[in-house]
Structures are given as C-alpha cells and as structure tokens.
Amino acid sequence: MVPTTELFDLIKRLTKSEKRYFTVNSKAQEGSKLYLTLFQEMDKMETYDEAKLKDRLKSLGFKPTNLAVMKVHLTKLILKALRSFYEGNTPEHTVLSMLLEAEILKNKGLYQQAIKHFEKAKATARHFEMHYHIFEILNRLIFTHIGLFVKGTAEKLEALFEEMESLKNLAYKEAEVKTLACKAWLISNTKQLRRPATLAAIDEIERHPMLQAIETGDTFFTKIYYFNAHAHLNHSKGEYQKANQHYKKTLELWNSHPHIRDINNRTYKSDITNYLNSCHTLGRYEVFDEWMERFESIKDTNFNEEAGSFKDYYHITLLYLLNTAQLKRALEIVPKVEYGLKAYQPRLSKTREMSLRFNVFFVFFCNERFSEALDWLNTLDLDNKLEAKADTKALARIIRVIVHYELGHTRILEDLRTSVYRKLKKEHQLHEFERTILEHIRQLENTPDKKDKIVLFEFLLEKLNAIGETYGMQKITGLEDIVCWAESRVYNKSYLEVLEQRKRQ
C-alpha cells in the first residue's frame, strides 16, 4: 500500500503563525511528545518519504511501530488546534462556537443559559444572512424548549415554527436562484453562441419565474444571484451592455452591505473580476485602475483565498495589458503567472488554468516571440473534454498553425493544417472564420513570392472584416487578434504597432 501524504500536505499548508500556535500549545501539554517530534520531522521534509521518516524517528530514540496510527492522531491534534486558533475569527466561527457552547449547557440541564446562547447565535447569523446556520439554530432551540417545557413554551414553539416556515421559503428561493445563476454561468463560459442548443438553454433559464423580478423580501444573496444570472445570460447572447449593467449592480449591492461583503471577500473579488471581464468585452479599460486597486486592497487570509485571487487577478490583468498594448508589462508578469500555476494548481479549475496559459501564450505571440509562444501553446491540453473552452481550444489549434508558419516549419505545416481541419470538423468547430484561416495558410504554403503573400494577406483581411460585420467582431473568439496579425503583415509593421494604432482609433 502506498503511504498517504494527507498529513504531510496538511502540515505544508500551515502558515508560520499556525505552526507556532500548534508547537507552543503542544509543548504545554503533559505526556509523550512523540506526535510533536513527528510534526517537526515532517515539516522539515521537502517531499514525503515514509522510509526516511521512520529511520529518522528511530535515530531520535523513538520506535514508530505504528506510524499510521500516529499520523491519524497528529492530524486530529492539528485540526483541533486550528479550530482553537480560528475561534471567533469570523462570524461563522463565532456562530459555530456558540452552538457548541449552547449544546454543552443544554446537556448539563442549564436550559435557560443554552437558550440565551442559541438566541445570540441566531442574531449573529441573521445579521450576516447565514440562513442555513439559522435553520440548525432554530431546530436546536425547538428541542431545547421542548426539554424545558415551562409555562409559555407552547407559544414560543409556535413562534419558532412560524420563523422556520418563513425562513424555509426565503432559503428555498435563494437556493433556486443560485442554481439558475450557476447554470447561466456555465453557459456563459461555454460561449457556444453559434449553436441553437445554447440559445434554447438561455431562453429556458430567462423564462424562469424567479428571474422575472426582485421582490422586497428577497435575501441579499438572492439579489446577488439574480443579477449574476442575468449578467451571464446577457453575456452569452452577446448583449454585453446589458450584462455590464447587471455586473455593476452586483457590485453596488455588495457595497451597500459592507458587513456582508467584508466576510465574503472571495466572492466579492470574483464579482469584481466578472465586472472587469465585462468591461474588457466592451473595451472600457478606463475603469480598470480603480477596480484593480480595490481588488488588491482586499487581503487574503488563507490558501483558498490566495489561489482564488491569483487566478482572477492575473487573468484580468493579462487581458487588460494585452488589450491596451502594454505588451512589455505583460511580459514582466509572466514569471509570476508561471509560479502561481504551480503553487495554486490544486485550486485552479481546468478552464481557468487553460485561460491563463492561453493568455501567456498570447503575450509571446503579440510580442512576436514565436518560439516561446509555441512552448506555452504546447502546455495546453487541447484534447480535454472541457466544453467551456471549446472556442478557445479551436482558436488555439488555428493559431498553432499560424505560429508554425511564422517559424518557417514548412515540413510539418501541411500535415498540421489538415489535421486541424479534420479535428475542428469532428468537433463541430469548423465555421467560416476557421475555414478562412486554414485556407489562407494553405495558399501561403504555395506562394513563395513576398508581394503575392501581401496580396493574400490583404484578401484575408477583407474576408475577416466581412465576417466581423456579419457576426460581430467580439462574438468570435480571436477574430480581432487575427485581424491585427493580418494587418501587421499587410503593412509590414509589428503586431504591437498595429495594436497601438487600432487602440488610438
């Protein structure tokens, strides 16, 4: 059996403060300190090697005859210490601690004291709209009153039953609208705008009764999910102005409830990213500095938040720099992206990892550093089954052909182009845009004369602009980027020069 690394992974994720807290508290305890030695030795290891660990423990005078049991015991002690370390650190921790204390008091027959604790917990949970915790508190309050059953208990129980019924309706709608928002998000990230099935799915969600209007008694998060759902749906339909307005309303709602916003930093920062993505689509880069500064001012407190901020911050930053012709600044942050892709890999979704890698590829492509661009392009798993990145994968295949053309890899170009053609056709991604590029590369292969190549690029540019007028330049992933590439070859300018000129227009 292969030794598990779960404990080792946990120890490596602890912060310096958490390690110090565990060590100090462990030293204060009486009895054997073998578990502390085990903790310290595992903390010193770069990679986990159980055989070396056992040898090390033996050399220190211990006999780790049952290391598996020791590891389970140490895991429990670390988690117990972390619970104590973070107790009262957030409203949720406070509520859960109050629940535990109330249960202890109830079990000792101190019902009135237990009820006071439950009521305090309920007040805190209600203030922060922690509805699912309120359900549990109400449930425990009911049974505590039943256990006490003094004069007036029946009336109190009736009031609790009514409160639970009201909460049930509010929480049900919140959960339902959240589900709709998640479905809308999935469609938005799929971006299969040219498929009838996508439009049908959008229409079905839009017609849902709970997405017709916000009601006065709706919870804070019901409203958040409502605006997000409509934003994602409008984005999917190509109604980017409407989407932007809904994303902005989400941020306005967050900022009108700072006490809830400040305990949901990760979600708030994610919504900032959604808004900036929308602004990017509309070309409104003037708002970026303000909102990116606000994003950076929100400090992360754990690995999960750090990873979430990494994937959001560098995704939107790369888009911003690429589309404002700040290509040198974009190159400067590539090492940080490369580091984050390794450091936060467990937290990165396949879709966001692909986006980051693709954007880094584009940084090198736009800087016309084609060898490095190809290296990053080769890190993309284009054979995965991520429907959410179908358009990006199709574009990556197309641009791979372009990169090999730019690098002069004539021997493989024909086979690669044919392979990409067949792959896109099989995946139902071979549309007019893709056919046009592949046909252009085929003609370039058979045209050695430089002047004739320029004529071909002029013809390509004409066709791409026509496609943009028909379908909408922004609705086809990569169309604007390929237009810039074509212009650079027509006018014998660098990609950067063309991009800067287009941004000034």
3-state helix/strand/coil string of 307-351: HHHHHHHHHHHHHHHHHCCCHHHHHHCHHHHHHHHHHCHHHCCHH
- Domain limit, last residue, from 53, 85, 117: 85
Is there a contact between 475 and 243 (Cβ–Cβ < 8 Å)?
Answer: no
Residue 378: count of CB within 10 angstroms of its CB:
12
The Cα 349–Cα 381 span in angstroms is 13
The Cα 403–Cα 358 span in angstroms is 14
Whether residue 422 is contained in a domain is answered as yes
Q: Which amino acid is at 10?
A: L
The Cα 228–Cα 165 span in angstroms is 27
pLDDT tens for the chain, residues 1 to 505: 567 889 999 999 999 999 999 998 887 776 667 888 889 999 999 999 888 888 888 888 777 678 888 889 999 999 999 988 888 788 999 999 999 999 999 999 899 999 999 999 999 999 999 998 999 999 999 999 988 888 888 999 999 999 999 999 999 999 999 999 999 988 887 656 657 788 888 899 999 999 999 998 899 999 999 999 999 999 988 899 999 999 999 999 999 999 999 999 999 999 999 999 999 989 899 999 999 999 999 999 888 999 999 999 999 999 999 888 899 999 999 999 999 999 998 888 888 898 899 999 999 999 999 999 999 999 988 877 666 577 888 889 999 999 999 999 988 999 999 999 999 998 888 889 999 999 999 999 888 888 999 999 999 999 999 998 888 777 778 888 899 999 999 999 998 888 888 777 6
Residue carrying the six token digits 């004539």: 410
Q: How is residue 475 annotated by DSSP?
A: G
Q: Which amino acid is at 473?
A: M
Both tokens assigned to 500: 């800067």
Give the pLDDT confidence score for residue 32 in this predicted structure.
66
- Domain limit, last residue, from 70, 85, 100: 85
Is there a contact between 323 and 285 (Cβ–Cβ < 8 Å)?
Answer: yes
Whether residue 383 is contained in a domain is answered as yes
Whether residue 44 is contained in a domain is answered as yes
Whether residue 132 is contained in a domain is answered as no
The Cα 76–Cα 173 span in angstroms is 38
Both tokens assigned to 426: 């099989």
The Cα 235–Cα 198 span in angstroms is 12
Give the pLDDT confidence score for residue 468 in this predicted structure.
87
Q: Which amino acid is at 332?
A: E
Whether residue 124 is contained in a domain is answered as no
- Residues recorded for the chain: 505
Residue 12, domain extent: 6-85
- Domain limit, last residue, from 85, 110, 130: 85
Which helix or strand (DSSP H or E) is residue 67 part of? helix 67-85
Question: Apex CA 464: angle with CA 463 and CA 470, to 5°?
Answer: 90
User: CB within 8 A of 116, min separation 6: which ones?
Assistant: none
Whether residue 400 is contained in a domain is answered as yes
What is the number of domains present in the chain?
A: 2
Q: Which amino acid is at 53?
A: L
Give the pLDDT confidence score for residue 84 in this predicted structure.
87
Core vs surface per residue 132-154: b (16+ CB within 10 A) or e? ebbebbbebbbebbeeeeeeeee
Is there a contact between 180 and 208 (Cβ–Cβ < 8 Å)?
Answer: yes
The Cα 455–Cα 450 span in angstroms is 9
Give the pLDDT confidence score for residue 192 in this predicted structure.
60
Whether residue 388 is contained in a domain is answered as yes
Q: Give, in order, the Cα–Cα distances in Å from 409 to each of 110, 287, 352, 414, 445.
A: 81, 42, 30, 10, 10
DSSP secondary structure of 189-237 = HH--TT-HHHHHHHHHHHT-GGGS---TT--HHHHHHHHHHHHHHHHHH
Whether residue 463 is contained in a domain is answered as yes
- Which of these, 363, 397, 394, lies nearest to 495 by C-alpha position? 363
The Cα 500–Cα 486 span in angstroms is 15
The Cα 439–Cα 417 span in angstroms is 9
Give the pLDDT confidence score for residue 10 in this predicted structure.
93
The Cα 261–Cα 91 span in angstroms is 12
The HSE-up count of residue 220 (CA atoms within 13 Å, CB side) is: 19
Burial of 469 (0-12, 13-18, 19+ CB in 10 A): exposed
The Cα 53–Cα 359 span in angstroms is 42
Core vs surface per residue 103-130: b (16+ CB within 10 A) or e? eebbeeeebeebbebbebbbebbeebbb
